[in-house]
Chain A
């Protein structure tokens, strides 16, 4: 089975610029997650989708972060405007609802300078 695809792999932007990350989950996985992993820390859940609806975005800084999952498949996470503290790896994961184990993509490493 193909894995979770993410792009780009790396991104360097200046503070106050905008950036978008893309995720293509495993086919058939209804649940999609975006995690933020700051260097030296564990991944932190930003937002969780069930099909194309948001079920948890309590940790998403909504003044600058947004995410969508059109048609319940691919998802895009956007940051506008970026701050230095947004430098992190952004991981996308997907799973079947109530099934064991999430499958993670390789992530997008964002550096804000």
Chain B
């Protein structure tokens, strides 16, 4: 089946690290993504990881992938107020034409 699950809410103090977790179901997913959505805006691609990788680092962002447990996480170092947004985990589901399936999103609130 196609299902991506995320916790709905995370609150962190400014300057701390944030970790957003996600589980997915399609073991054949080739790419897994993190998108960011600010209020009233569209979806912004933050980062992605190919399924043959365990980790990817991009400035303040670190993505960890555990294929055995189908678990994906996004760590944001030195979280800032501008990071407050909804973060969506998404997987590519293959089968004919690839399609991108999203989780429900994790709302990150950053407080002083």
**B31 pairs with A100, CB closer than 8 A:** yes
Query: Are B48 and A42 within 8 A (Cβ)?
Result: no
Q: Which residues of B contact A43 (CB under 8 A)?
A: 43, 88, 102
* Interface residue tally for chain A (C-beta within 8 Å): 24
A102 x B100 contact (CB < 8 A): yes
Contact size class for B? 20 to 34
B100 touches A33 (CB 8 A): yes
* A66 interface residue (CB < 8 Å to B): no
Of the A-B pairs whose beta carbons lie under 8 Å apart in the complex, a sample of 13, sorted by A's number, is A41-B105, A45-B101, A48-B99, A55-B97, A56-B96, A56-B99, A93-B100, A100-B31, A100-B48, A101-B33, A101-B48, A104-B44, A106-B42
Binding site for B on A (CB under 8 A): 4, 31, 33, 40-45, 48, 50, 55-56, 91, 93, 98, 100-107
